[in-house]
Amino acid sequence: MATFIDKIEHSKELIAESAKKYERIAVGCSFGKDSMVTVHLARTVAPEISVFSIMTIYKPQKTLEYLVEINKKFDLNTLVYVVAKETPEILEQVNVVLLPYEDFEKESDYVRKELNKEMYSVCPDECCGLLKVVPTQEAVKNLDAWIAGLRKTEGFTRENFQEIEIIGNITKINPILEWTELDVWRYLAINQIPANPLYAEGYRSLGCAPCSKVTDEDESERAGRWQGTAKHGGECGIHTKRLK
Ligand code: SF4
């Protein structure tokens, strides 16, 4: 069984090889704990590698504030993609690509009118599609490969991912796929990387505010995601849908 040190070395090698192989490569960062490990590993072996992030109008204010703080602290120069009417005020301190809001507005207005509900509660797949998958497609459209921080032990939907995946015309590298939740916290502590403050409130997996709940120790990390919907513990789509 690989030790923690073996895992770090393997992840670094995988990222270094990928950065050498693909001219147009970037790291996707959600500003959760796993993303922070991945970005830190990537910047250690490939200091110039680009970082992008997909934010939504439903992300917790604390995540947006953390993004701004960490972006500055580690000089990440993150390019943030968001579907919104206007750039959220806090994100005016970072580089933002504001994407059209009309499609989401039309769909969510329709759901509100017909069902008196928000899209995330009745059709989260469509909500994630418009707010997360479409912006990710935009973020990777000029890339040959991207790097993500997903891990097998996060939940049942992540058990069968591969370290290197080719879906459509883009390669995705998952360098910390075999890391455990404990490995992630050890790495953050050893490297003195501040964590998103929401973890101190008991969250173990962070997404949009309406779709993330605090979970118990005996549940899977992603059990707090999309509770009460058919998507419970599932995937937003950026790791499962074709991006280009
Ligand atoms: S996580 Fe929830 S609020 Fe965020 S895009 Fe998906 S369904 Fe919508």
Q: Tell me the DSSP string of 154-187.
A: G-GGGTT--SEEEETTEEEE-TTTT--HHHHHHH
Q: Which residue has the tokens 């970037």?
A: 26
Task: State the Cα–Cα distance between residues 16 and 14, nearest whole angstrom.
Answer: 6
| 153 Cβ neighbours under 8 A, 6+ residues apart | 179, 180, 181, 221
Question: In tens digits, what is the pLDDT along the chain, a chain of 244 residues?
Answer: 899 999 999 999 999 999 999 999 999 999 999 999 999 999 999 999 999 999 999 999 999 999 999 999 999 999 999 999 999 999 999 999 999 999 999 999 999 999 999 999 999 999 999 999 999 999 999 999 999 999 999 999 999 999 999 999 999 999 999 999 999 999 999 999 999 999 999 999 999 999 999 998 899 999 999 999 999 999 999 999 999 9
Q: Tell how strand 79-83 and strand 95-99 pair up.
A: parallel
* Distances from the Cα of 217 to the Cα of 31, 37, 202, 212, angstroms: 22, 22, 10, 15
Residue 130 CB less than 6 A away from ligand 1: no
Map out the domains of the chain with their CATH numbers. Answer: 4-201 (3.40.50.620)
**Gap between the terminal Cα atoms of the chain:** 36
Residue 120 CB less than 6 A away from ligand 1: yes
Residue 177 CB less than 6 A away from ligand 1: no
- Cross-sheet strand order for the sheet of 95-99: 95-99, 79-83, 50-55, 25-28, 145-147, 170-173, 164-167
Q: Which atom of ligand 1 is nearest the CA belonging to 131?
A: 5
The answer to whether residues 59 and 208 touch, using CB atoms and an 8 Å cutoff, is: yes
